[in-house]
Structure formats: C-alpha cells, structure tokens
Amino acid sequence: MTTLFVAKQYVKNFISKYEVYLKPLFKLILALVTLMIINGKIGYMHRLDNISIVLIASLMCSFMPMNFIVFLAAAFTVLHMYALSLECAAITLVLFLILFLLYFRFSPKDTLVVLLTPLSFMIGIPYVIPLTMGLLGTPASAISVGCGIIVTYLINYIADSAPTLSGMETEDIATRFRFIIDGFLDNRAMVLTIAAFAVTIILVYLIRRLAVDYAWTIAIIAGALADVMILLVGDLMFDTNVSILNLIIGTVFSVLIAKIVEFFAFHVDYSRTEKVQFEDDEYYYYVKAVPKITVAVPSRTVKKINTSRKRPSGSSQSQR
C-alpha cells in the first residue's frame, strides 16, 4: 500500500511541476476527441468533417479557456444540423441557448462535466459521471450533467431520425418542426436518466459530507445502488428498454473509477481519528479530526567519487 501512496505523490508532483505544459495538452486532446465524436456521429457538413479543420480548432482550444471548447462543440453541432435541415439547426440552437443560460447561471465551472458526459455515454460507462460529481462537485452539478445528457440524447435522436428527415423534404416546415420536437420531448429514457443522475449526485454529496468513517466509500456504494434501482424501476414503469447487463457492468466499472478518484482526492487514516473538545466564551466545540495519509517521497542523492589523485608537487621535482 505504501508503494501506491508513493506513486500517487509522484503523480501529483509531476502534474504540479509540468502543469503549464500539461494543461494545454489536456485541452487539445479533449477538444480533438469532442469534435471527432461530433463529426463521427452527425458529420452532415463535409467541410467540417475534415481532420485539418478539427486539428486547427483543437489547437485553438488549447490556448483558450475551457468554456471555449463548449462553444466550439455547440457551433459544430449547429452547423452539422443546418446541413441536415434548417429545422434541426433552429431547434438545436434554441435548445443550446436555454442550456447555456442554465449552465452559466448555476454551474459555470463544470465545463469538463458537460464535455465528458457524452463521451461517457459513448464508451458505455455514463454512471461514473453522477458518482464522481457527487464526490467532487455540489448538488448544482446536476444542472451540468443534465445539460450533457440532453445534448447526448439530442444528437442520438437526430442521427437516428436523419433518414426520415431527409425523406420529408416535400412536407411543410410545421410538420418537420413537430416531428423533431415531439420525438425529442417524448424520450422517456432521457427524462429518466436525468432524474436518476440528479438523485445520485445529491445522495452521494450528502453522504460523503457526513462525519462518519468511510463516508466516501459509503457514498459511492449508496449512489451506485440508488442509480441502478431508479433506472430499473423507471424501466418497469415507462418501458425505456434499459439493458440490465450493460447497466450492471457499467456500474461496476463506474464504482472502480470512483474509488480511484477517491484515492487521489480524499484518503485519510481512520485508525488515528481524534476527537477534540474545547470552548470559548460563547460555545463548546466538539471536533472530530481525521488525519490525511501522507507519505514522504524518497529522495535520491548521487555521490560523486573521484578516483584520480593528484600527485604532490614535491614528488615530481624529486624525480627530476
């Protein structure tokens, strides 16, 4: 176990030392992956579905604030929707404006969550998002997660309905608008996922703040069980076609990732817990102090040994 703590300290020291280089690199990779996912899912505008444009846009994002990646991803999505149909672009633009108002009003610092939520759905472990945000965020993070879920289901719905929309060119505008809006709002799976993730975030947040031993571990397990139960009950009530096998496997992997997050963000030694009591003129204070686990990184010292010896000046003169 000590080896893991030493490795953790090495990682933290490495990140803090090279943060000025790692942060732009991380933003570059995040923007590149996000734009490639958008182009791969809804690449209707062929000019944007070009690796050169994606690389240039990603390089631009590496030197800009994180929120710029969100704006650029939204712009790519709207342009692709415009190439499919004007109605899709208009609905997507209005929806993005509403989501941006909610996002910047309640949780403007959760940029990473908005971007990682669609990615987590793509790789099959979306349940890690509510667990980690309950550990690291606040209940307001449910707004950011909800925005990411809405964007994910919107893109999936448009991609699945693209053949139908392409065949409705002769229909009037009102019919196409009604088809898109009704189909998107009637998505019960999206509503159920938003509700389950919001409850999970709030539950994990409340439990991990309790003054009990192993609060973070209890919060992870309770949040995972609550998420699974809500999704399964919702599937029985609304017939959302939830895959039980994928749900269980995804939840197990999400719990493991949440434990890794706990290891790096919060690791204490409950065996050395102390309870302190003191007072002042107005209050009595009862404090429970749990020390953090700290391990000193072994330092390496290099000792230079010079084997060559200088001859005394007298000895050289005597030889002459």
Q: Residue 205 — pLDDT band, cuts 50, 70, 90?
A: very high
* Per-residue 3-state assignment (H helix, E strand, C coil) for 129-182: HHHHHHHHCCCCHHHHHHHHHHHHHHHHHHHHHHHHHHCCCCCCHHHHHHHHHH
pLDDT value at residue 318: 47
Instruction: Give the list of residues 6+ apart from residue 119 with CB closer than 8 angstroms, or none.
Output: 33, 34, 37
- Per-position DSSP letters for 217-282, written without gaps between them: HHHHHHHHHHHHHHHHHHHHHH-----HHHHHHHHHHHHHHHHHHHHHH--B-GGG-EEEEEE-SS
Instruction: Round to whole Å and give the CA distance between 317 and 305.
Output: 28
Map tokens 């719905």 to a residue: 157
Instruction: Round to whole Å and give the CA distance between 124 and 257.
Output: 13
Instruction: Round to whole Å and give the CA distance between 130 and 133.
Output: 5
- The residue that leads in pLDDT, 108 or 56, is 56
pLDDT value at residue 297: 62
Q: Which residues pair with 268 in a beta bridge?
A: 292
| Enclosing H/E stretch for 279 | strand 274-279
Instruction: Round to whole Å and give the CA distance between 230 and 146.
Output: 16
- The residue that leads in pLDDT, 247 or 282, is 247
- The residue that leads in pLDDT, 10 or 59, is 59
Q: Residue 288 — pLDDT band, cuts 50, 70, 90?
A: confident
Angle between helices 19-42 and 141-166 (to 10 degrees): 30
Q: Range with the lowest mean pLDDT among 88-97, 217-226, 227-236? A: 88-97
Nearest to 95 by CA among 150, 34, 45, 142: 150
Q: What is the pLDDT of residues 112-156, one digit of tens each?
A: 888 889 889 888 889 999 999 999 988 988 998 998 899 899 888
Instruction: Round to whole Å and give the CA distance between 100 and 151.
Output: 11
What are the residue boundaries of the structural domains of the chain, listed by start?
A: 19-84, 103-268
pLDDT value at residue 17: 87
Nearest to 107 by CA among 62, 145, 66: 145
Q: Residue 320 — pLDDT band, cuts 50, 70, 90?
A: very low
Instruction: Round to whole Å and give the CA distance between 39 and 307.
Output: 64
Instruction: Give the list of residues 6+ apart from residue 65 with CB closer than 8 angstroms, or none.
Output: none
- The residue that leads in pLDDT, 292 or 99, is 99
Q: What is the pLDDT of residues 17-73, one digit of tens each?
A: 888 899 999 999 999 999 998 888 888 888 888 889 999 999 999 999 888 998 999
Q: Which residues pair with 168 in a beta bridge?
A: none
pLDDT value at residue 313: 53
Give the pair of three-digit tokens for residue 11.
């990682």
Instruction: Round to whole Å and give the CA distance between 195 and 150.
Output: 12
Query: What number of helices (H) and strands (E) belong to the chain?
Result: 13, 2
pLDDT value at residue 105: 78
Q: Which residues pair with 292 in a beta bridge?
A: 268
- The single-letter code of the amino acid at 237 is M
pLDDT value at residue 83: 87
Mean pLDDT of the chain: 84
Q: Residue 171 — pLDDT band, cuts 50, 70, 90?
A: low
Phi and psi at 88, nearest 5°, equal: -65, -40
